[in-house]
Structure 1
Amino acid sequence: MDHWSGTRKLIEARQADRLAEELKALDDEGRKEIAARLPALLKELRGRFDQWDDGLVDYAPVLRVAGAATFGGAAAVASWLYRRDFAPRWAGPDNDVDLVLAVLSGRPAAWRADLAERLVLRMRTADDRGMDLALALLRETGIEPPPHDPLVAGWLSRPPSGLGDDPLLDHLLPRLFEAEGAGRVLQWEREPHAGWLGALLRLAREGRVRRQALIEGCLRRFVRGGSAIDLRFFVRLHEALEVSPAEAAPHARDYLCLLPSSPGPVAEVAMKCLRACDDLAADDLAEAWDALLFRPERKFVRAGLSWLDRSVRHRPALAGAVAAPLARAFAADSTELQEKAVELALAHAGGMSEEGRATVREAIELLPPHLGRRAVKVFSGGTVAEAGLVFVPPPLPAAPERVHDLAPPIESAEEIARLMGQWARSWDESERLLAGFVALVSRERKGAAAALRPSLPDRDRFSWEYRQDSWDQADHWLQGAVRSLTGTAPTQQAWRRLMPRGGLAAPHRLLLHRTAEILRAVEEGTLPPLLLATPTHSTGHVAAAELVRRLEVIEAAGTKPLAADFQQALLRLPRIWDPEAAERAGRLTSAAGRILAEWTCPAAAAELAWTCTSWDCTHKGGEHDWHAHGNSHGVRLVPTATAVPTGLPLVDLMLSSPSYGSDAANLEWWPSMLPSHREVAAAHLMPYVLRRYYGETPVGPEQARALARAEGPAGAAFAVVLARVLGDPKMPESVDVLLEVAARDELPAAEIGRQAGLLAVSGEARLIDLVAALDAAARRGAHAHVWRIAAAALPELLPPPGGRPRHGLAGFVTLAITAAEWCGARGEIPEVRDMAARKGNSGLLREVRRLHDLLVSAPGVTGVTRVTGVTGVTGKEG
């Protein structure tokens, strides 16, 4: 009997429902016949579509049903069901699971169990195509699932409806706390009345799942470790269970183990449970306090000190256990926390043993001088000198290498093709790519075209790019150059109409001119053998000798350099040439060579002013005053730059007053475009330094570090960049930049202080964030620089009589006191003197008076640096 013809018709018609009914009625001979014919039919169907066409996916349900019903072995069925032809990545979830289960229902139970295990072990991720079928077969057969983490993740990625009746619950719930990937699947679960979190809590209330099993499972998962994301769900589950002290007490040792190094949310859970246990032994409490005071997060140190103080007040006998934890807190990275630790040590000194007092005494040298003196009186019974203590500030770390050589331009066509397909590249890698492309095309145009053609995006997509009004990304122009090279560009001379007309910042415009002229030269066949502006050093500089050599190569080839490339190369020359390079430049004969031979670094000046643009800005003495309202939207920085004209339009554009561009593209590139004019480069970044709009690229530590390593004077513009990143808690690496500039003795500390004060009063930075960054810098050796910053900031920060002080100002004054003590600063600051004379006894006034008394005490080593003027300073380049 011919079973195949009817089956084929149903497959061709894609009628999976009817096919399933027909196949269930077949005998063994009919199933064998169809199983033998299916591979040839699949090959025939595949031949109807090219490799990029997903037409075969439409046949997947009928083909899967046919194979599941007719192939004899479980291994053959598993392989057939999840052939790559049937399940490309974009095809979505299977919609034929019920039909496959229906045609499998007549198979023996052991056979279906074998298939279930095979499908489970094929799973690699929670959303693998076979997951729904594997889960369904496991539920039908009732077998214990094989241990496989992706299965647990897949089970958890499905809604937990009817979870209490799920046959898999008892098997997979214990694995929830052990399987890798389980926490990431559930990381967004937060509602205790819905989803898996709600379902588990409900089952615990009903007794279907033991509460203790969930608590112990969370603890096991915490002890196994993992990232905060991996553990987020288990933290929420533990919190939702509201673990009582009686439930937590048997697991006190586990909670103690979590305190020192677990992710913050886990440590917080452990601390909460331990604090609720009133009968912890003294040794356990000391271990908990020591662990919390060891952590780098200030909130845990603060919480540990509070817990310690509360416990000793309730149980005075515990005073004997506090010495070691408090001594550890003396090394905290915050003066506020050190002060709290000293206060507690003094308060509980009477209950300490002699051994404990000795432990505290040995740690006193970790404190700032003013706190050390307080501690010495109690724990040594005398003065600092009598105790033999010396408060030595930490040394400033050595500055890292200012510059290193960059890798040469890319030579491999394969490497150029690979980089062409990447969306994100560093500026130096992009420069190497541009240089490599030009050299390759100039050297071997036909070979370059053949090598780069496969890297091009879809023709239709890039045709759409040619219909745009302008190309405002460098990558557009480079892709256009490759299109022109390979003869696949929809139109020619795109450079005539696609260059943006306005709304671009000068560095962005120079970059677009450089890439656009490469496209034009490719079309016109005028590419030089190499580019001139490719940096030789990590600062963006081009060594003078190398630039001369490149011009020699171009002259020898009888070609001309690209205009924008040449002007960028001039801007990248070091401020001082080596004599040999200057002599060789004098022998160049081209027009570009003569310009280079006569080139000297242009003198430029940058100025910066704060202006108030909001209607609610008040005026004080004819000047804008935003101290009262702190409205950052009404305040902006206005940079200006001036230079002697050179007659080269792009050079003069780069050295002129910066303007805001509508698209702050390639900001990480900008400092490398003016490596010999640090202050002008910083001025170009000014419009993007203050509070950004959503999605706008921020000026960050990368730009600050690049400016730090550039040449030229550092003035107000560089100071604003560094002050702004120091005031951003998301940019802790900015402290490293400050230390690097300080180590080179190039830090404009007073100007940074003044600008930091203006950022704070304008609402652009929070004082608590500035204090944290400057405190960290002082503790790493920059105490003298931090003092000069603080001294210059205080006149801007201290409120006028009757004015309301900004949040965090008392902490800033405390930081100033600490830094002044470390470096022995002396010299009266009028604004501090005037505020110290005001009536009142607030915490801020007490700190201001303490600072004033320190500054006017016995003569010291370092005078106070003052910055005068209102609108800014000038960074002039010689």
Structure 2
Amino acid sequence: MDDHWGEIRKLIEARRAERLAERVRTLGDEGRREVAVRLPGLLKELRGVDRWDDGLSGYRVGLRVAGAGCLGGAAAVTSWLYRRDLAPRWGGADNDVDLVLAVLADRPAAWRADLAERLVLRLRSADDRGVELALALLRETGIEPPPHDPLVAGWVDRGPARLGEDPLLDHLLPRLFEAEGVGRTLQWDREPGRGWLGALPNLAEAGRVKREALIDGCVRRFLRGGTPTDLRFFVRLHEALAPSPAEASCHVRDYLHLLPAAPGPVAELAVKRLRSCAELPADDLAEAWDCLLFRPERTLVRAGLSWLARSVKRTPALAEVIAAPLARAFAADSAELQETAAGLAMTYADDMPEEGRAALREAIGFLPPALGRRAAAAFAGGAVAEAEAVFTPPSPPPAPERARAVEPPIRSAEELSQTITEWTDSWQSWERLLAGFVVLAGRDRPGLVAATRDRLTAEHAWTYAQETWPRAEQWLRGAATALNGDARTRHAWRRFLPGRGLAGPDLLLLHRGAEILRAVEEDTLPPVLLATPTHDTGHVAAAELVRRLEVIEAAGAKPLAADLQQALLRLPRTPDPEAAERAARLTSAAGGIVAGWTCPEAHVTMEWTCEWGHQGPHDWRDRSHAHHVRLAPAAVAAPTGLPLIDLVLSVPGHWAEPEHVHWWPSTLPSHREVAAAYLTPHLLQHYWYGPVVRAQARHLARAEGPAGPAFSAVLARALGDRNTREPVDVLLEVAARDELPAAEIGRQAGLLLVSGEVRMIDMVAALDEAARRGGHDQVWRIAAAALPALLPAPGERPRGGLTGFVTLARMAAEWCDARGEIPEVRDVAARKGNSGLLREIRRLHDRLTEGTDGTGQEG
């Protein structure tokens, strides 16, 4: 018997899994019991033999195969196969399924069925390592799988290859529409005709599964609810099946139940199928419209209004049931939708019952003033005076506090070690780490060495093979390595500093890191850094900067050059005479510089340039030709004599590689427009840096200094970002401080819309929200400045969504009582035609010139 164990052990240690499986199958009962007893001890011996991985990377398969073939009960085998130390380190499915199945082949059928069920119930996710073995055993044993959601998710995750021949199809297909996790597993299955989206309709067409069962399964899944991600695949499957009007009519009540609260894509398909059904009862139509016109999504409200308008035009008797839905649409958060709803209500007012007109009169208060007066006059019994209670926009919100104090400095090596552990790539963490490193290098050098040895220096050696160090963290690691006495290269601060190719704020940041590394090498670190921010905008309070200079001077040290220049750029624009007087009493040159410092001004300009995808000169505003738009900023500032400050304030005209985009506003907190100018070359990128740049609008809003074309371009592009409404908060915050360059934002927004970089619907949604939250005056000035670029030239096709933009402009003009003719609006209003756009432009023109001779002051 010992010989049997000896042979099994040698095969495991030699990693000969296939030969091992063959040998295990020849063992008798006593031999298997002996192996089962010895295996745990062998596992302990092998753990840690191989230093790569966790010591078992080469022995796992053999140990699993031996355990599966020799352990006695199904419960024991399940526990062995699921041992954590027998799981692959990097996750993923087991790669020994065939070998495990081979050693289980001679087990009794009931035992194998028991094992299959136990393995299924141990699954926790679709990518669980045991899914393959569980599925294989289920197929071999033919038992009905136990109800377990991760099994279904794992089944679909393996793909639909030879799905029609899969014995699990009939068991698991009905559960596909019920099991949690399936939708997330299949969310990327999006190509019709391929994957599950191709396999299931093909099986239905071939008669292998019932088409009605698939449609019914999708609808049942929608009714169960879930997130858009959970339901995305089922929406695609439902549309791939394309239910006929007869099939859709079987689910009318289900589709109606989906309209009030289902995710947008589900509600959209429900609308589509309901509209395909012929002769829906008036009550069902009224219920559908009532649900849709109460939805927050504008696309669904627009679809509901379109459906309502066409239905009533085709069947005028339906006017009796449209009052309640239209009253809901009066409260829509879009001027365009309000206009459409009010127009329909006024058109069919005479055909509505009295209770319907009464409901609409009660809702008039949600309409803009002029539209409300027209609607009130249209309803029988509704006096114009009732419109005096129409919706009045709120006052602008107050500006939040511009800056807050940052976390206190790092005071101990333990705190620094914890900060490194929690370090995200934020400028706040970087500044605290840098300041803590410098302070602790003088106060607690042994503790600092211990805190950084494993956390900053362990993986730093490979960076010495690079040509340059363009990342801030590389310099901090280099300084920690030098502090530990383990530097690979002498004068690394000179060798690895990039000379060009990076943006000015990045070069300043790297110079700060390089001079700290140099000071570590030369043992000249000052006791404290000057540029560490005192506020979350990046500012350094003047009094605190002077105090730090006093500490350095008292220690007989010298401040670091780049650190001093960064500190000067972080001083607030408002002078502090008391701090300047204290600085003048210092004997160092740095004290004199701070005492005489005044914030330099930089003049920023910006041009829109275009790269063509074809030959020949064309206006980049011409949408019939492919083009790639770039923003080219430039800045001019009077020299200060401080090289890094002069470098940063003179924005180069060429594109530079950004490394720390999200740190730039904190580098220049008193030079908002310069920081924005550095951001604008990356503003129009859809991936990589574009979203990061647009997110800086909030930080630029709280910076100081003039706001010109660069800041306006950043905010205008952020307002057109469909993924966030935060820029509306930014617009209102800057407006509350009376710092918003509204006309310039409008010009930049117009250019963005004309170039196709921003969708009209997204810009209108953002500006509409800003107007309804009290920013109507600023929205009007933005819209008025954008309109000249947006209105079509004679013979030109209008841009999509322009009617909604003009409607928004008219609403904002009414709310702020704007007056003053806009020549471009006047010229378009005078054209022949009766399109919806022309009617809306004429209303805007009439509003602006009402009660004037057309030459009044612009509102």
The TM-score range, normalised by the shorter chain, is: over 0.9
Counterpart in the other structure of 1:642: 636
Counterpart in the other structure of 2:322: 322
Choose 543-552 or 508-517, whichever is displaced more.
543-552
Change (3 A) 1:616 1:489: same
Counterpart in the other structure of 1:274: 274
The amino acid across from 2:676 in the alignment is A
Q: Counterparts in 2 of 1:426-825, with a 5 A limit?
A: 426-456=426-456, 459=459, 462-610=460-608, 626-628=620-622, 633=627, 636-689=630-683, 691-692=684-685, 695-698=688-691, 700-798=693-791, 806-825=799-818
Superposition deviation, residue 356 in structure 1: 0.9
Choose 414-423 or 665-674, whichever is displaced more.
414-423
The amino acid across from 2:111 in the alignment is W
The amino acid across from 1:169 in the alignment is L
Choose 208-217 or 559-568, whichever is displaced more.
208-217
Q: Is the 8 A contact 2:457 2:478 kept in 1?
A: no
Q: 1:181 and 2:181 equivalent?
A: yes
Q: Counterparts in 2 of 1:84-95, with a 5 A limit?
A: 84-90=84-90, 93-95=93-95
Counterpart in the other structure of 2:299: 299
Change (3 A) 1:193 1:824: closer
Superposition deviation, residue 597 in structure 1: 2.3
Counterpart in the other structure of 2:822: 829
The 2-side partners of 1:778 and 1:92 are apart by 52
Counterpart in the other structure of 1:146: 146
The 2-side partners of 1:279 and 1:797 are apart by 42
The 1-side partners of 2:90 and 2:752 are apart by 49
Choose 405-414 or 641-650, whichever is displaced more.
405-414
Superposition deviation, residue 83 in structure 1: 3.2
Q: Is the 8 A contact 2:365 2:387 kept in 1?
A: no
Q: 1:43 and 2:36 equivalent?
A: no
Choose 580-589 or 564-573, whichever is displaced more.
580-589
Q: Pairwise CA RMSD of aligned residues?
A: 3.0
Deviations along 1:472-521, whole A, 9 cap, x unmatched?
Answer: 12122222222222344432322111111112221111111112222222
Counterpart in the other structure of 2:133: 133
The 2-side partners of 1:53 and 1:805 are apart by 63
Q: Is the 8 A contact 1:778 1:786 kept in 2?
A: yes
The 2-side partners of 1:103 and 1:587 are apart by 88
Deviations along 1:111-160, whole A, 9 cap, x unmatched?
Answer: 32332233223222222222211222223333343333222211111233
Identity of aligned residues (%): 69
Secondary structure in 1 matching 2:452: helix
Q: Is the 8 A contact 2:93 2:131 kept in 1?
A: no
The 2-side partners of 1:158 and 1:762 are apart by 44
The 1-side partners of 2:633 and 2:521 are apart by 39
Secondary structure in 1 matching 2:24: helix
Superposition deviation, residue 787 in structure 1: 1.7
Change (3 A) 1:657 1:202: closer
Counterpart in the other structure of 2:21: 20
Counterpart in the other structure of 1:870: none
Change (3 A) 1:840 1:472: same
Choose 598-607 or 568-577, whichever is displaced more.
598-607
Normalised to the residue count of structure 2, the TM-score between the two structures is 0.92
Superposition deviation, residue 573 in structure 1: 1.0
The 1-side partners of 2:457 and 2:376 are apart by 72
Secondary structure in 2 matching 1:642: strand
The 1-side partners of 2:334 and 2:662 are apart by 32
The 2-side partners of 1:12 and 1:23 are apart by 15
Change (3 A) 1:632 1:663: farther
The amino acid across from 1:650 in the alignment is L
Change (3 A) 1:555 1:205: same
The 2-side partners of 1:862 and 1:389 are apart by 31
The amino acid across from 1:721 in the alignment is V
Secondary structure in 1 matching 2:604: strand
Superposition deviation, residue 638 in structure 1: 4.3
The 1-side partners of 2:275 and 2:826 are apart by 45
Counterpart in the other structure of 1:622: none
Secondary structure in 2 matching 1:606: strand
Choose 676-685 or 264-273, whichever is displaced more.
676-685
Q: Is the 8 A contact 2:357 2:379 kept in 1?
A: yes
Deviations along 1:78-122, whole A, 9 cap, x unmatched?
Answer: 232333443323375433222222222222333323322332232
The 2-side partners of 1:533 and 1:640 are apart by 26
Deviations along 1:416-440, whole A, 9 cap, x unmatched?
Answer: 4455467842222322222223223
Counterpart in the other structure of 1:392: 392
The aligned length equals: 856
Deviations along 1:685-723, whole A, 9 cap, x unmatched?
Answer: 33333x337534446443222222222222233222222
Superposition deviation, residue 361 in structure 1: 0.8
Secondary structure in 2 matching 1:146: coil
Secondary structure in 1 matching 2:59: helix
The 2-side partners of 1:630 and 1:559 are apart by 65
Secondary structure in 2 matching 1:57: coil
Change (3 A) 1:649 1:42: same
Q: Is the 8 A contact 1:293 1:328 kept in 2?
A: yes
Normalised to the residue count of structure 1, the TM-score between the two structures is 0.90
Superposition deviation, residue 365 in structure 1: 2.1
Change (3 A) 1:861 1:423: farther
Choose 562-571 or 519-528, whichever is displaced more.
519-528
Secondary structure in 1 matching 2:86: coil
Counterpart in the other structure of 1:377: 377
Choose 68-77 or 160-169, whichever is displaced more.
160-169
Counterpart in the other structure of 1:114: 114
Q: Is the 8 A contact 2:716 2:749 kept in 1?
A: yes
Q: Counterparts in 2 of 1:834-853, with a 5 A limit?
A: 834-838=827-831, 843-853=836-846
Q: Is the 8 A contact 1:481 1:519 kept in 2?
A: yes
Deviations along 1:601-657, whole A, 9 cap, x unmatched?
Answer: 224433344567878557xxxxxx655568795765443433333221112222224
Superposition deviation, residue 535 in structure 1: 1.3
Q: Is the 8 A contact 2:404 2:535 kept in 1?
A: yes
Counterpart in the other structure of 1:854: 847
The 2-side partners of 1:41 and 1:769 are apart by 64
Secondary structure in 2 matching 1:270: helix
Change (3 A) 1:589 1:287: farther
Change (3 A) 1:397 1:443: same
The 2-side partners of 1:798 and 1:659 are apart by 31
Q: Is the 8 A contact 1:327 1:363 kept in 2?
A: yes
Gaps of 5+ in 1: 619-624, 867-878
The amino acid across from 2:50 in the alignment is F
The 2-side partners of 1:197 and 1:833 are apart by 53
Superposition deviation, residue 326 in structure 1: 0.5
Gaps of 5+ in 2: none
Q: Is the 8 A contact 2:777 2:812 kept in 1?
A: yes
Change (3 A) 1:200 1:447: same
